[in-house]
Structure 1
Amino acid sequence: MEIDLLSPASFAGGQPHAQFAWLREHAPVFRHAEPDGPGFWAVTRHADVRAVDRDFQTFSSEPTVMIPDPAAEAAAAFGPYKMMLMMDPPEHTAFRKLIRSEFTEPQARLRAERIRALARQIVDAVVHKGECDFVAEVAGEMPSFVIAELMGLPLDDGRELYKLTETIHTAPEALPPGAGAAAVMKMFEYGAQVMAQKRARPGDDLASRLLACEVDGRRLEDMEFLLFFLLLIDAGGDTTRNLLSGGLLALMEHPEQLAWLTADLPARLPAAREELLRYVSPVIYMRRTARRDVELGGRRIAAGDKVVMYFGAANRDPAAIERPDALDLSREETAHLAFGNGPHVCLGQHIARVEIDAMLEEVLSRMTDFAPAGEVEWLASNFISGPKVMPLRFRAAA
């Protein structure tokens, strides 16, 4: 079996489950070559991924959660500042606390009515057309609108910022030279405008609250705010957008599961959503760096080694999930790691679930007879898994 978890081609039609299955059975902690780096350990079993994600004292999120080390230019531009995703406790805990209250389960429930209204608005715009690009016109709209409202931004700006995140997540080799860095700079330029506006006229929004809060008795510096802004915009859309588009594709491929779900949509949706999260696994990987020599899965990992957790592989591990390759929306317990676990568990998981439920309920109750209207184009990325373009034909339900 040829193993290549770096090339976007391996992820061109979704996650490479044949490679993952071979790795889980033969080399669950696999030394993967890296053409422009020292190589990394690919971790594919559920128990090992879960253990690495929880043990921040052994496996650090610094200097980055991406496989490549930060480029010298980026390190120079950011100076001593880091994105929260690339911190460890207790620093990570202090920064996470700044926004944690906005993303609790009760707070997400309070936003449910507004999110359902947005879902209706999104489906209203396409339901009578009979055809759309499901990613751009439906799946991508919801998280773009929600994060824009949270940050106190115009909804249309949320859509434009989402386009930048798509570029940021695309593999560099699939883009013109410098396109990824340019997208980050555009995000920072927009964030700097938001920073100036919110300082001059604070509102009842997350951006204003971030600028007013304190860490260790001091306000956030400009670069700290900009990195927070980038993280919230960037991470705010991934799971919802890719779960909705990838999930609908999975339902179209399993019409008996779609029929089961729509037969009693409100009651069956919570279990179905969790199974789709497991089955689709929108985030492919997160990297950690070993702080000390350690053994994992029978392999000796040296201090400084890169250790990469593959969530899609963990979510298909037969040791943790019965019949893992089957889509079974009636599963009572999926044990999935789509949102990670431990101190870095996805902060936005509760609001993502509310968004997913609202959109699936609108789409599946108001649209029917789904069929491809063209070729599905997947995001050229080894980090985020999901369709980039998904032409869809359908009709309005009675």
Structure 2
Amino acid sequence: MDIDLLSPERFAGGQPHDQFRWLREHDPVHWHAEPGGPGFWAVTRYEDVRAVDRDFQTFSSEPTIMIADPTPEAGTAFGPYKMMLMMDPPEHTGFRKLIRSEFTQPAAHLREGRIQELARQIVDAVADKGEVDFVAEVAGEMPSYVIAELMGLPLDDGRKLYELTETIHTAPEALPPGAGAAAVGKMFEYAMGVLAEKRARPTDDLASKIIHAEVDGRRLEDPEFLLFFLLLVDAGGDTTRNLLSGGLLALMQNPDHFRWLMEDLDARLPAAREELLRYTSPVIYMRRTATRDTELGGTQIKKGDKVVMYFGSANRDAAKFEAPDALALARPENEHIAFGNGPHVCLGQHLARIEIDAMFKEVLTRMKDFELAAEPEWLASNFISGPKAMPVRFRKA
């Protein structure tokens, strides 16, 4: 088997499940070469991925959760400051507490009515068109609007920030030189404006709370706010946007399952949503770095080695899921790890589920007879999986 988990071309059209399957069966902790880098361990079985994600003492999120090490330029741009995703407890715990109250299950449900209202508005804008780019005009709108409202930003600005995140997630080789860095620069430039505004005129929004909150008895410094802002905007849209578009595509490709879901949408949607999360796994991987010599799945890992967890593979592991490559919307006891697990489990998962349900209910009850108007164009990324563009035709229900 020709194993290549770095080239974005291998992720065009979805995740390389043939490679993942071979690795789980023959080499579940696989040493993967890395052009220009030292290489990394690709971890593909469910139990191993779950174990790595939970053991932060052995597998650290520092210096980065990306496969490529930070460049010297990136390492000096923010000095000692790090994004929360690239911290370990207890430091990570302190920063997570700053925003945790906004993302608990009860807090998320308080926003349910507003999210349903936004879903109606989004479908109102497209229901009569008959043909749309489902990613840009439907799936991408909801998370953009929700994170904008959370942060106290104009809704249209949320859409513009979402466009920047798409560029940030695209593999550098698929972009013009410097495009990714330019997108990050624009994000930080916008965040500096938010920082000045909320510092001078704070309101009851998440951006104001972060600016005026304290960690270990001190206020966040400007670079820490910028990194927090980038994380919230970036992570706030990934799963929802890609699950909605990738999930609709999976339903179109499995019409019997689609019909089953529509026979009792309200009752069947929760189980279907969890299965679509497992089946599509929008976040492909997260990296950790070994803090000591250890063993994983019978393989010796050395201190300093990169260890990369492939969630898309773990969620198709036959040792955990029956018929893992089949879509089974009524799958019982679906313990997928599309949101990760352990200390870094996705903080926004409760909000994401409410957004997904609200959008699917509006879309699937008000639009019908979906068909592709052109082949989907997938995001050129080995980190985030989902269509970048997906033109669909439909009839108004």
TM over 0.5: yes
Question: Residue type matched to 1:312 in 2?
Answer: G
CA distances 1:41-100 after superposition (whole Å, capped 9, x unpaired): 000000000000000000000000000000111111011000000000000000000000
Alignment partner, residue 192 of structure 2: 192
Counterparts of 2:146 and 2:219, CA distance in 1 = 26
Equivalent-residue separation in structure 2 for 1:163 and 1:107 (angstroms): 27
Instruction: Report the alpha carbon displacement of residue 36 of structure 1 after superposing the two structures with TM.
Output: 1.0
> Structure 2 counterpart of 1:362, which letter?
E
User: What does residue 36 of structure 2 align with?
Assistant: 36
Q: 1:346 maps to what in 2?
A: 346
SS of 1:42's partner is strand
| In structure 1, C-alpha distance between the alignment counterparts of 2:55 and 2:67, rounded to whole Å | 19
Which amino acid in structure 2 is aligned with residue 245 of structure 1?
S
Q: How far, CA to CA, are the matches of 2:47 and 2:36 in structure 1?
A: 30
Distance (whole Å) between structure 1 residues aligned to residue 184 and residue 81 of structure 2? 15
Cross-structure match for 2:91: 91
The match for 1:220 is 220
Aligned to 2:140: 140
What count of residue pairs does the alignment treat as equivalent? 397
One-letter code aligned to 1:5: L
CA distance in 2, matches of 1:132, 1:36: 41
Q: Determine if the alignment matches structure 1 residue 289 to structure 2 residue 282.
A: no
1:221-251: CA deviation from partner (whole Å, max 9, x where unpaired): 0000000000000000000000000000000
Q: Which residue identity does 1:244 align to in structure 2?
A: L
Q: Take 1:147 and 1:137, find their aligned partners in 2: how far apart are those partners? A: 17
Amino acid at match of 1:318: A
Q: Secondary structure at the match of 1:202?
A: coil
Q: Which residue of 2 aligns with 1:155?
A: 155
Aligned to 1:126: 126
Residue 106 (structure 1) shift:
0.5
Amino acid at match of 2:326: A
Which 5+ residue runs of structure 1 have no aligned equivalent? none
Residue identity in the other structure for 2:285: Y
Q: Compute the displacement of 1:375 (Å).
A: 2.0
Question: Structure 2: which amino acid aligns with 1:208?
Answer: S
Q: Are residues 1:257 and 2:262 paired?
A: no
Task: Using the TM superposition, give the Cα deviation of residue 335 of structure 1 relative to its aligned residue in structure 2, in angstroms.
Answer: 1.2
Aligned pairs for 1:297-336 (under 5 A) are 297-336=297-336
SS of equivalent residue, structure 1 residue 393: strand
RMSD of aligned alpha carbons: 0.4
What secondary structure is seen at the aligned counterpart in 2 of 1:41?
Answer: strand
Matching residue of 1:24? 24
Instruction: Give the structure 2 partner of residue 277 of structure 1.
Output: 277
SS of the residue 2:394 aligns to:
strand
Distance 1:71 1:244 in 2: 34
**2:7 alignment partner in structure 1:** 7
One-letter amino acid matched to 1:390? M
In the alignment, residue 148 of structure 1 is paired with which amino acid?
A
Instruction: Give the counterpart letter for 1:275 in structure 2.
Output: E
- Determine helix, strand or coil for the equivalent of 1:270: helix
Cα distance in structure 1, aligned partners of 2:143 and 2:71: 29
Cα separation, 2, equivalents of 1:249 and 1:219: 45
SS at 1:37's partner residue?
Answer: coil
Give the AA of the match of 2:183: A
* Structure 1 counterpart of 2:268: 268
Asked whether 1:386 is paired with 2:396, we answer no
Between the aligned partners of 1:284 and 1:78, the Cα distance in structure 2 is 27
Q: CA deviation at 1:135?
A: 0.2
Offset at 1:8?
A: 0.2
**Moved segments of 4+, more than 4 Å:** none
| Distance of 1:123 and 1:154 partners within structure 2 | 19
User: For structure 2, which runs of at least 5 residues remain unmatched after alignment?
Assistant: none
Equivalent position amino acid for 1:332 in 2: P
3-state SS of the aligned residue for 2:371?
strand
Matches of 2:251 and 2:269, distance apart in 1: 13
Deviations 1:282-314 (A, max 9, x none): 000000000000011111100000000000000
Of all paired residues, the percent bearing the same amino acid is 79
| Partners of 2:302 and 2:191 in 1: CA distance | 39
Distance (Å, rounded) in 2 between the aligned partners of 1:20 and 1:57:
27
Corresponding residue for residue 68 of structure 1: 68
The one-letter code of the counterpart of 1:276 is L
Match for residue 242 of structure 2?
A: 242
Cα distance in structure 2, aligned partners of 1:313 and 1:390:
24
Task: Provide Cα deviations, 1:87-117, integer angstroms capped at 9, x if missing partner.
Answer: 0000000000000000000011110000000
